[in-house]
């Protein structure tokens, strides 16, 4: 739902005039019985939802509306539930429901509205303003000042925002734990320096496609935010091995590490072997990565359960065999466009007892033999990606689908079939009328 008029309901109707026939009708409905108020379909919608939840809420009392409302989304509370009656409207305005706000992709969200929300509920702990193009640095600064308890801040693709906003958040919200601001072209090392020096509780950062960020800012974060558990970078060409080394040395609690498309090489990646808690590693399309480094990481990082090596053309069969042998907890292995053959798939089927997901799309040397052998031998496999493995015949895949129904085989044709099946299940029917 793109209409967000009812977000202004956070202000009392007597204090602010937001206009619009829909809101005017809603205000009148607040003071009338339910049946004289909004469309009965809204009431029916709520009855169905409440009945569904009540049957599965561990014997919760029937009058525990607060618990039920806490499971509703912002849209459901503002655009449906609050229109049913005055009591439900007042309940929707309760401060406890305004702690986590997802305002993403709403162009009606402006600095003014952001200020009203922050003024109404100063205990906001999480906010997402991704793709809100009408929010400026000013709005974010006001939000930061009024909500010092903010823990999680997300603002993907807000290209209008600059260092000013992130500096304000860092300065005013010292308890910050999560900052996801991917694809902000104006963000520089100056913003990162403030985060690194003032937000000691930071655990989760995402600066993918922030092209002006360099090692200078990243190293300060690594040295200042010792509790980091997740870091994701993407296409940050000014981020090099120095950053990887700094995080490996100063942030021992790191569990998720991603440096997709960064100027990183094996010389930096090898330092990740120090991370004993590492569970997910994304090294897609980095500048240079050799097989020996990957094998050493898998041997020493015993908790690794997801490894993404896509678009690293040097990764070969020998490396995959070692991964299958040594990755005792590995469940996901992504090898799209790597230099592997059928032997890699056979090795996974033979040596791994844990790998559930394997994607070898665009690996041109994979044939029917490899796909068949891994399906036959692996006891754990649940997904096999074969997109554009042109030497794998579709007839073979069809046979495998029938023989191993517990495995999802992904090819262009198989994915199309599954999409069509889901459409039929949802009630879609093809238009059989003759073309005009």
pLDDT for 91 equals 73
pLDDT for 395 equals 98
Cβ atoms 344, 368 nearer than 8 A:
no
Token output for 347: 């090795």
Say how far apart CA 304 and CA 180 lie, in whole Å: 23
Average pLDDT (163-185) is 98
Torsion, Cα 160 164 167 173, to 10 degrees, reads -80
Average pLDDT (257-282) is 98
Among residues 338, 328, 335, 285, the alpha carbon closest in space to that of 305 is found at 328
Token output for 423: 């459409």
Cβ atoms 374, 347 nearer than 8 A:
no
Average pLDDT (96-121) is 88
pLDDT for 16 equals 32
The residue written with tokens 């990162």 in the block is 192
Q: Are strands 332-334 and 152-154 parallel, antiparallel or unpaired?
A: unpaired
397 Cβ contact partners less than 8 Å away, ≥ 6 residues apart: 371, 386, 409, 411, 413, 414
Cβ atoms 189, 213 nearer than 8 A:
yes
Question: Is 99 in a helix, a strand, or coil?
Answer: coil
Tens-digit pLDDT profile for residues 180-194: 999 999 999 999 999
141 Cβ contact partners less than 8 Å away, ≥ 6 residues apart: 164, 165, 168
Among residues 49, 27, 51, 50, the alpha carbon closest in space to that of 37 is found at 27
261 Cβ contact partners less than 8 Å away, ≥ 6 residues apart: 234, 235, 236, 237, 284, 285, 286
Cβ atoms 334, 341 nearer than 8 A:
no
Q: How confident is the model at residue 62 (pLDDT cuts 50, 70, 90)?
A: very low
Please report which residue ranges of 55-183 form alpha helices under DSSP H: 65-69, 74-79, 86-92, 111-120, 137-146, 163-172
Q: How confident is the model at residue 72 (pLDDT cuts 50, 70, 90)?
A: confident
Q: Rounded mean pLDDT of the chain?
A: 87
pLDDT for 30 equals 37
Least confident stretch, 81-90, 121-130, 133-142: 81-90
pLDDT for 117 equals 87
Token output for 200: 């000691």
Token output for 50: 């409440």
Tens-digit pLDDT profile for residues 320-355: 999 999 999 999 999 999 999 999 999 999 999 999
pLDDT for 254 equals 99
308 Cβ contact partners less than 8 Å away, ≥ 6 residues apart: 258, 260, 281, 282, 283, 284, 332, 334
> What is the pTM (predicted TM-score) of this model?
0.82
Tell me phi and psi for residue 334, to 5 degrees.
-115, 120
pLDDT for 89 equals 74
Tens-digit pLDDT profile for residues 376-412: 999 999 999 999 999 999 999 999 999 999 999 999 9
Say how far apart CA 434 and CA 436 lie, in whole Å: 6
Q: What is the DSSP letter of 435?
A: P
- Name the CATH superfamily for 182-425: Ribonuclease Inhibitor (3.80.10.10)
- C-alpha distances in angstroms, 122 versus 97, 139, 143, 144, 176? 12, 14, 9, 10, 15
Q: How confident is the model at residue 259 (pLDDT cuts 50, 70, 90)?
A: very high
pLDDT for 51 equals 55
- Length of the chain (residues): 436
Q: How confident is the model at residue 54 (pLDDT cuts 50, 70, 90)?
A: low
The strand pairing partners of 365, in sequence order, are 341
CA atoms within 13 A on the CB side of 128: 12
Say how far apart CA 308 and CA 337 lie, in whole Å: 11
The angle subtended at Cα 116 by Cα 72 and Cα 49, nearest 5°, is: 10
Judge whether residue 29 has pLDDT over 60.
no
Average pLDDT (248-257) is 98
Say how far apart CA 242 and CA 219 lie, in whole Å: 8
Say how far apart CA 256 and CA 301 lie, in whole Å: 12
Say how far apart CA 250 and CA 224 lie, in whole Å: 8
Cβ atoms 221, 243 nearer than 8 A:
no
Average pLDDT (21-25) is 41
- C-alpha distances in angstroms, 134 versus 18, 60, 115? 18, 41, 13
- C-alpha distances in angstroms, 13 versus 2, 8, 90, 95, 103? 22, 9, 12, 17, 21
Q: Delimit the domains of the chain by residue range.
A: 182-425
- Evaluated on CA atoms 249, 251, 252, 254, the torsion sign reads negative
Q: How confident is the model at residue 260 (pLDDT cuts 50, 70, 90)?
A: very high
């Amino acid at each position: 739902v793109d209409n967000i008029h009812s977000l202004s309901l956070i202000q009392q109707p007597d204090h602010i005039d937001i206009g619009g026939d829909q809101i005017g009708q809603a205000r009148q409905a607040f003071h009338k019985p339910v049946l004289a108020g909004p469309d009965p379909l809204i009431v029916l919608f709520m009855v169905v939802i409440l009945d569904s939840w009540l049957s599965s809420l561990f014997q919760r009392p029937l009058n525990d509306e607060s618990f039920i409302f806490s499971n509703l989304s912002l849209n459901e509370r503002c655009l449906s539930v609050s229109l049913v009656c005055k009591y439900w409207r007042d309940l929707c305005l309760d401060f406890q429901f305004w702690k986590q706000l997802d305002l993403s992709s709403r162009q009606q969200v402006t600095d003014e509205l952001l200020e009203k929300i922050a003024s109404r509920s100063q205990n906001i702990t999480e906010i997402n303003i991704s793709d809100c193009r009408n929010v400026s640095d000013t709005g974010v600064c006001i939000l930061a000042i009024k909500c010092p308890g903010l823990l999680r801040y997300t603002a993907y693709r807000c290209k209008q925002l600059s260092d000013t906003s992130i500096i304000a958040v860092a300065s005013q919200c010292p308890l910050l734990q999560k900052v996801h601001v991917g694809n902000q072209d104006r963000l520089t090392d100056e913003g990162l320096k403030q985060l690194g020096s003032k937000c000691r509780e930071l655990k989760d950062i995402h600066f993918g496609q922030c092209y002006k960020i360099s090692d200078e800012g990243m190293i300060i974060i690594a040295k200042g935010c010792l509790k980091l558990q997740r870091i994701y970078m993407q296409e940050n060409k000014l981020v090099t091995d120095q950053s990887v080394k700094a995080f490996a040395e100063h942030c021992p609690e790191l569990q998720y590490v991603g440096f997709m498309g960064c100027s990183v090489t094996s010389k930096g990646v090898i330092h990740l072997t120090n991370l004993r808690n590492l569970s997910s590693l994304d090294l897609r399309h980095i500048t240079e990565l050799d097989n020996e480094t990957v094998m050493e990481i898998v041997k020493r990082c015993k908790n690794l359960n997801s490894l993404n090596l896509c678009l690293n053309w040097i990764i070969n069969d020998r490396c995959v065999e070692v991964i299958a042998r040594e990755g005792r907890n590995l469940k996901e292995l992504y090898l799209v466009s790597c230099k592997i053959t059928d032997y890699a798939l056979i090795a996974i089927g033979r040596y791994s007892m844990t790998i559930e997901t394997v994607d070898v799309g665009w690996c041109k040397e994979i044939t029917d033999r490899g796909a068949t052998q891994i399906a036959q031998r692996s006891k754990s496999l649940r997904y096999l990606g074969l997109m554009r493995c042109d030497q794998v015949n579709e007839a073979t895949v069809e046979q495998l689908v029938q023989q191993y129904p517990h495995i999802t085989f992904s090819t262009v044709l198989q994915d199309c079939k599954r999409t069509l099946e889901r459409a039929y299940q949802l009630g879609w029917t093809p238009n059989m009328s003759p073309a005009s």
